[in-house]
Amino acid sequence: MRRKKISIIGAGFVGATAAHWAAEKELGDVVLVDILEGIPQGKALDLFQASPVEGFDARVIGSNGYEETKDSDVVIVTSGVPRKPGMSREDLLEINKKIIESVVTEVVGKSPQAILIMVTNPLDTMTYLALKKSGLTKQRVMGMAGILDTARFKAFIAMELGVSVEDIQALLLGGHGDEMVPLPRYTTVSGIPLSQLLPKETIDRLVDRTRKGGGEIVNLLKTGSAFYAPSAAAIQMTEAILKDKRRILPCCVYLDGEYGLKDICFGVPVKLGANGVEAIIELQLTEEEKKLFAKSAESVKKSIAELKL
């Protein structure tokens, strides 16, 4: 049996950390690509040299070109510029657009059957761009955002209640911006509705912190943005695909009428398996949730229009 191949474009903080999680979980062989000479090669060699110590078996190589990525099963795209304090994800659009256009063309040239997981921001817009540029089907191009945003919500709930993160189930919809739509109504702790454990004001405070969760980390780091949780989330999607788990996870996907939206990449719960996005799950929303959802969709539509495709 041929080993699975995971290529990661961009060997910066998110890319290199994703390589770490992927190799450690033995999801397949890992190829790290970056334009910086020596960086992907050096990080790959270093990571491979950790494998005898940690006892994982995965080949890890680094490259400045795409030859080594040939016939990848999954390609995670993290190449691009991260935010600095005071910047919104939208401020990255112009520069990351150029990077994503060239990267996606190279990627599909070598791996026309790959499934693409986008991480570069502004996430929903870059996912849309990758879908249009790649010519891949809508099942095979998706963005990582919902798992990260949900993980932040879960982490804040666990911290507030002083309980294990393992027992928290949560869901979140919408774009990967400060207008994302956390859904406390679909959030439980070991099956207990969150509303029975925390007063509304506290839930509202946690929702607000979740919305601004990326910015909180940018303000702390000052020179870049979050990378542990974003890379872990991208690898959870990779694992669901490579192991055909059919997990239900919030991901950024192309909508063609679902939730009343068309021609947009947006965060919704999907079934992820070997064929990529195998189904889109439509939730019933309250009037209030619908309003928040529409507002978030409006921002993403505006950003997509700026691509001028």
The residue ranges that bind ligand APR (CB under 6 A) are 9-15, 33-36, 78-83, 92, 96, 99, 102-103, 119-121, 224-225, 227, 230
Q: What is the number of the residue whose Cβ is closest to ligand APR?
A: 12
Taking Cα atoms as reference points, which of 242, 264, 100 lies closest to residue 176?
264
List 132, 176, 211, 271, catalytic entry: 176
- The span from the CA of 176 to the CA of 165, in Å, is 22
Beta-bridged to residue 192, according to DSSP, are 189
| Shortest reach from residue 304's CB to ligand APR, in Å | 16
Both structure tokens of 280: 């889109």
Residue 75 or 168 having the CB closest to ligand APR: 75
| Shortest reach from residue 170's CB to ligand APR, in Å | 21
| Shortest reach from residue 89's CB to ligand APR, in Å | 7
Q: Which residues lie below 8 Å from residue 229, measured CB to CB, with a gap of 6+?
A: 148, 151, 152
**Ordered DSSP codes for 114-169:** PEEEE-SSSHHHHHHHHHHHH---TTSEEE--HHHHHHHHHHHHHHHHT--GGGEE
Look up tokens 């911290």; give the residue. 159
Residue 179 or 258 having the CB closest to ligand APR: 179
Residue 78 or 125 having the CB closest to ligand APR: 78
State the virtual CA torsion across 281, 284, 288, 293 in degrees, nearest 10. Answer: 20
20 is catalytic: no
The answer to whether the CB of 173 falls within 8 A of the CB of 250 is: yes
Indicate the helix (H) or strand (E) that contains 155.
helix 146-161
Residue 93 or 242 having the CB closest to ligand APR: 93
Count of CB atoms situated within 10 Å of the CB of 79 = 23
The answer to whether the CB of 89 falls within 8 A of the CB of 59 is: no
| Shortest reach from residue 29's CB to ligand APR, in Å | 19
| Shortest reach from residue 241's CB to ligand APR, in Å | 19
CA distances from 188 to 164, 170, 194, 197 (A): 12, 6, 5, 9
Catalytic residue numbers, as ranges: 176
